[in-house]
A and B are shown apart, each in its own frame.
Chain A
Amino acid sequence: MAADLQIVNLTKEFESFDQPGNKVVAVDDVSLDVEKGELVTLLGPSGCGKTTLLRMIAGFEDPTSGDIYLSGQRVNDQAPNQRNAAMVFQSYALFPHLNVLENVVFGLRLQRLPSSEVTARGERVLELVGLDGLGERSTSQLSGGQQQRVALARAIVMEPSILLFDEPLSNLDAKLREQMRIEIRQLQQRVGITSVYVTHDQAEAMSMSDRIVVMDHGRIMQVGAPLDIYARPRNRFVADFIGKVNFLTAQVSGPKQARLLDQQLIVDDLDERPLGQEVILTIRPEAVNLRTSGGHLPGQITRATFLGGLVEYEIQVDSLGEALVVHDANPVVRGLHQVGETVELELPAKALHALVEG
């Protein structure tokens, strides 16, 4: 069976705003398949082309080249109102002149369904998003989180073949954002609706997605499951964008072995490479073990920041250019190290990862 959404060699060029005549490539030769029931996140910094890609799927932007298939059918030439793709907008885009229920059933009304069915379906979806009984309210009387749910209800009531999210949580405060992540994900899995979700928040992407598509400068950098992307980033950009990371420049010194300064490190996922070749290793701050003796590298603590559940240390290793960032968990029990203290760093073989691209 074909994927629910297929994107084939999609490119979008805009005319440059400040230099007319020049082209800006917003989306550069992107191909992607999204399977039925899957939630795929497009993740990247602002300007990476993720929103443009989403808007092309919805039909609001016209691709310069390439094809889009929804449920196996090419939709390039369909106007936005003909596509069976429902969108949840960043600003919610609720109709201010309609009440909650009227907003939710706006699309159903257009299909000229019997009005009893329209109301019944509208109310069922309001219940699904936890807004039962609020149908008569004006949208301006709702809190930000409730408005978000109305936007969501308005999209899923259409029973679209694909649901598109354009940074839907970016207008909510941090606590509500975390709660809505869980709710949206649960609802999406319960309804089993294929979804594409745009965000620049890596925590949001990791907590919600089946797969993450990391984008930069209009190109796909890496596609994979959240853990895969976090643990095994392809390149510097992906490693750096998904959370904090330390880069170490080492030389290949044997099978699954690399030399860093005078230390032999075991790197479990190092593929076969010529001896002596330079290799960039990554390790996440929480994977580095702090010890008083017997580690791979000695260092001196130059900064200690207490963050509650963990302490972030900046540790200077002699003859290594940059300082390393290390997270030490559970400081209440384990205590704090002081600035100026000397420590040993242990780099576990399982946590080290060799970048495929420099």
Chain B
Amino acid sequence: MPRLHRAKRELELLRRDPILLALLIFIALAIFIFVIYPLFEVLIKSLQTRDVEGLTLANYERFFTTRYLRLALRNSLMVGFTTATVGVFIGYIAAFTLTRTNAPGKPIWHVILILPVISPPFVSAISILMLFGFNGLFTRQLLGLQNFNIYGFKGVVLSQVFTFAPIGYLTLRGVLSSMNPVLEDAAMNVGATRWQTFRRVLLPLSLPGIASAFLVVLIESLADFGNPLVLAGSRFPMLAPQAYLEITGSFNLPLGATLAVILLIPSMTAFAIQRYYLQKRQYVTVTGKPSTSSSKIVTRSMQWVLMGILGVFALFIILFYGTILMGAFTLVWGYDYTLTLNHFIYTFSVGFEAVKDTLIVAILSTPISGLLAMMIAFLVVRRTFPGKGALEFSSILNFAVPGTVVGIGYILAFNKPPILLVGTLAILVLNFIFRYMPVGIQSGIAVLQQIDPSIEEAAQNLGADSVTTFRKVTLPLISPAFFSGLVFAFVRAMTAISAAIFLVSAKWNLMTVQILSEVGSGRLGVAAAYSVVLVVIVIIAIFVIGRLVPSGAATSIIQVQD
């Protein structure tokens, strides 16, 4: 009863600020239609079959009785846990080396390590194919192996580790750099050895962060679509590509939806643990003062060992990207290594449609996604209204929902009146807006929570309404978060595949989808050329966005605090 009373009171307060109220209704409605409703449609579809009326569990029954489908779940989980374990291990070594040692060339290490984050998630898969496939440079040309098979578990895990370890690195870097090195000085001051200091102080303090990074990588791995599609092979089914194949290959939409729901369960569990259990247990030692202590926790020789491990990993990344670059200029990889510009000529002539469409979609969705994210962050942190928790949860829900599920949801929800969008530009733009908002929202919330609310109260006190306060005060203050939200939205709009592959049409195609189809038809050179173009566009875009958003936040994504 008191809850209801409070909700009523909050509503009365909102009436005073009609623009805010209208904005809230608009955002709530948009989130309901473009986040919640498609998921609901997937759930309903999974309870239907093509030949029986009404709702049934027949699809789930089929899942549990079909060995091949059960195998897909097992494989996805196996790959997910392996990738997460290895990825977090490498990510921790990288984060530790770059925040706790005096390793030379930190900014360069950092840029190499995050290169996979700004490329399509299956670039390493294509490289692996070019290096270790049936006609791979290493396996066939150099070693002369006839029957080496990279497909299956090892191929997918190898590719995913290189794709997702950088995400583990970025998460853990945040955790480690927010821990004051004075704690380590204190431990050593009372007689702890370096190893004891690491084992008894640093490691326990970073444990919640490690678990959190593990779950984030696990979520990414489960949702990954490109790497499995290229490298899993038919004898190693995995959930995300299998759902796609059920729909596009066997035209069995209900079974595809069922696989999507089953994929959703581990993802959502990991998300819930990460968000509601781990996040509250992270130790952040914020002192307000920049800590000047230089860490002495690592000996010189140990530093070289760590850099050696990191070096091997970085070398592989360079090797993969070098391969892509070479492949883009090579006539027929595996047979004829003559240099050529043909693939680029193709990309910029016949194949340019996809580049153009991708740019249009990205340029349309990025600013809307970024702005919406900042508005939601503002509302969640600074205003009270009924249903705030629900709004926050559903606005960041898509962080954990695999793209495959979202893609299926969108074709189910928007292929019929009142909202008929399938085949249009709008469905791609809307999908990207709502899918890539969560990162902007979360960084917006984080930044906003550190800004004294009285600054915004001062604006109100001087006569600014909610919208003016947001535009003139809040947005300029949270521009670093706005910047990272924009960059993330743009990078993802350029590189996403899992949901987009369901939503492209003859009229509106995307580069990533085009790359996969080139790989499918064996034209690796063209795929490589597209990938190169894509990475270049993304790098240019990051600098352009940095210019457009004031505050000098441009470097924040590649920034190393030394």
Residue interface bits B474-489, CB-to-A below 8 A is 1, else 0 = 0011000000000000
A113: shortest Cβ distance to chain B, in Å? 12
* From A15, A80, A86, A89, residue with most partner B Cβ within 10 Å: A80
The answer to whether A60 and B457 have CB atoms under 8 Å apart is: yes
- C-alpha gap A111/B551 in the complex (Å): 27
- C-alpha gap A86/B9 in the complex (Å): 26
Is A106 interfacial (CB-CB < 8 Å)? yes
Residue interface bits A94-107, CB-to-B below 8 A is 1, else 0 = 11110000000011
Is A246 interfacial (CB-CB < 8 Å)? no
Stretch from B354-362, B441-449, B459-467 at the A interface: B459-467
Apart from A81-B460, A110-B463, 9 more pairs, CB < 8 Å: A15-B2, A62-B9, A78-B16, A81-B469, A85-B461, A93-B457, A97-B476, A97-B477, A107-B462
Known contacts A93-B458, A95-B459; decide if A79 and B473 are in contact (CB<8 Å): no
The answer to whether B16 and A58 have CB atoms under 8 Å apart is: no
The answer to whether A89 and B13 have CB atoms under 8 Å apart is: no
The answer to whether B464 and A89 have CB atoms under 8 Å apart is: no
Contact of B477 among A87, A96, A154 (CB under 8 A): A96
What is the chain B residue whose CB lies nearest that of A106? B462
Is B454 interfacial (CB-CB < 8 Å)? yes
What is the chain A residue whose CB lies nearest that of B16? A79
What is the chain A residue whose CB lies nearest that of B465? A81
- C-alpha gap A91/B473 in the complex (Å): 16
* From A82, A86, A93, residue with most partner B Cβ within 10 Å: A93
The answer to whether B454 and A90 have CB atoms under 8 Å apart is: yes
Is B336 interfacial (CB-CB < 8 Å)? no
Is A33 interfacial (CB-CB < 8 Å)? no
- C-alpha gap A111/B464 in the complex (Å): 9
Is A158 interfacial (CB-CB < 8 Å)? yes
The answer to whether B460 and A95 have CB atoms under 8 Å apart is: no
The answer to whether B462 and A154 have CB atoms under 8 Å apart is: yes
Is A335 interfacial (CB-CB < 8 Å)? no
Within 8 A of A (CB), among B285-309: none
Residue interface bits B5-39, CB-to-A below 8 A is 1, else 0 = 01001000100110000000000000000000000
The contact size tier of chain B is 20 to 34
Is B452 interfacial (CB-CB < 8 Å)? yes
Within 8 A of B (CB), among A22-60: 58-60
Residues of B within 8 A of A93 (CB): 452, 454-455, 457-458
Contact of A95 among B2, B13, B16, B455 (CB under 8 A): B455
Is A77 interfacial (CB-CB < 8 Å)? yes
Is B56 interfacial (CB-CB < 8 Å)? no
Residues of A within 8 A of B477 (CB): 96-97
Residues of B within 8 A of A154 (CB): 458, 462
Residues of B within 8 A of A96 (CB): 455, 477
Main SS at interface, chain A: loop
Interface CB pairs A-B, < 8 A, 27 = A15-B2, A21-B2, A58-B457, A60-B460, A62-B13, A80-B457, A80-B461, A81-B460, A81-B462, A85-B461, A86-B462, A87-B458, A87-B461, A89-B458, A91-B454, A93-B457, A93-B458, A94-B455, A94-B458, A95-B459, A96-B455, A97-B473, A106-B464, A107-B462, A110-B464, A154-B458, A154-B462
The answer to whether B454 and A77 have CB atoms under 8 Å apart is: no
Contact of B461 among A15, A21, A81, A111 (CB under 8 A): A81
Tally of A-B Cβ pairs under 8 angstroms: 72
A277: shortest Cβ distance to chain B, in Å? 46
* From B2, B455, B462, residue with most partner A Cβ within 10 Å: B462
A199: shortest Cβ distance to chain B, in Å? 17
Residues of A within 8 A of B16 (CB): 77-79
A47: shortest Cβ distance to chain B, in Å? 19
A12: shortest Cβ distance to chain B, in Å? 12
Is B559 interfacial (CB-CB < 8 Å)? no
What is the chain A residue whose CB lies nearest that of B2? A21
A220: shortest Cβ distance to chain B, in Å? 25
Is B555 interfacial (CB-CB < 8 Å)? no
The answer to whether A81 and B458 have CB atoms under 8 Å apart is: no
| Smallest CB-CB A-B distances: 6 pairs | A107-B462, A93-B458, A93-B454, A97-B476, A80-B460, A89-B454
The contact size tier of chain A is 20 to 34
Residues of A within 8 A of B17 (CB): 79
Is B340 interfacial (CB-CB < 8 Å)? no
* From A21, A87, A158, residue with most partner B Cβ within 10 Å: A87
What is the chain A residue whose CB lies nearest that of B468? A110
Q: Which residues of B contact A (CB under 8 A)?
A: 2, 6, 9, 13, 16-17, 452, 454-455, 457-465, 468-469, 472-473, 476-477, 551
- C-alpha gap A86/B462 in the complex (Å): 7
A91: shortest Cβ distance to chain B, in Å? 5
B376: shortest Cβ distance to chain A, in Å? 21
Residues of B within 8 A of A80 (CB): 457, 460-461
Residues of A within 8 A of B458 (CB): 87, 89, 93-95, 154
B546: shortest Cβ distance to chain A, in Å? 17
Residues of B within 8 A of A62 (CB): 9, 13
Residues of B within 8 A of A110 (CB): 462-464, 468
The answer to whether B463 and A81 have CB atoms under 8 Å apart is: yes
* From B2, B17, B454, B468, residue with most partner A Cβ within 10 Å: B454
What is the chain B residue whose CB lies nearest that of A78? B16
- C-alpha gap A21/B2 in the complex (Å): 8
The answer to whether A89 and B465 have CB atoms under 8 Å apart is: no
* From B458, B469, B477, residue with most partner A Cβ within 10 Å: B458
The answer to whether A81 and B2 have CB atoms under 8 Å apart is: no
- C-alpha gap A58/B455 in the complex (Å): 14
B381: shortest Cβ distance to chain A, in Å? 15
Residue interface bits A59-90, CB-to-B below 8 A is 1, else 0 = 11010000000000000011111100111011
- C-alpha gap A78/B472 in the complex (Å): 22
Residue interface bits A253-272, CB-to-B below 8 A is 1, else 0 = 00000000000000000000
The answer to whether B459 and A58 have CB atoms under 8 Å apart is: no
Within 8 A of B (CB), among A136-164: 154, 158
A118: shortest Cβ distance to chain B, in Å? 13
- C-alpha gap A110/B460 in the complex (Å): 11
The answer to whether B459 and A106 have CB atoms under 8 Å apart is: yes
B472: shortest Cβ distance to chain A, in Å? 8
Residues of A within 8 A of B463 (CB): 81-82, 107, 110-111, 158
Residues of B within 8 A of A85 (CB): 461
Residues of B within 8 A of A21 (CB): 2
What is the chain B residue whose CB lies nearest that of A97? B476
- C-alpha gap A110/B551 in the complex (Å): 23
- C-alpha gap A106/B463 in the complex (Å): 9
* From B457, B465, B472, B476, residue with most partner A Cβ within 10 Å: B457
Residues of A within 8 A of B457 (CB): 58, 60, 80, 87, 89, 93
Residues of B within 8 A of A77 (CB): 16
Residues of A within 8 A of B460 (CB): 59-60, 79-81
Residues of A within 8 A of B464 (CB): 81, 106-107, 110
The answer to whether A79 and B465 have CB atoms under 8 Å apart is: yes
- C-alpha gap A87/B460 in the complex (Å): 10
A287: shortest Cβ distance to chain B, in Å? 41
What is the chain A residue whose CB lies nearest that of B455? A93
- C-alpha gap A58/B460 in the complex (Å): 10
Residues of B within 8 A of A15 (CB): 2, 6
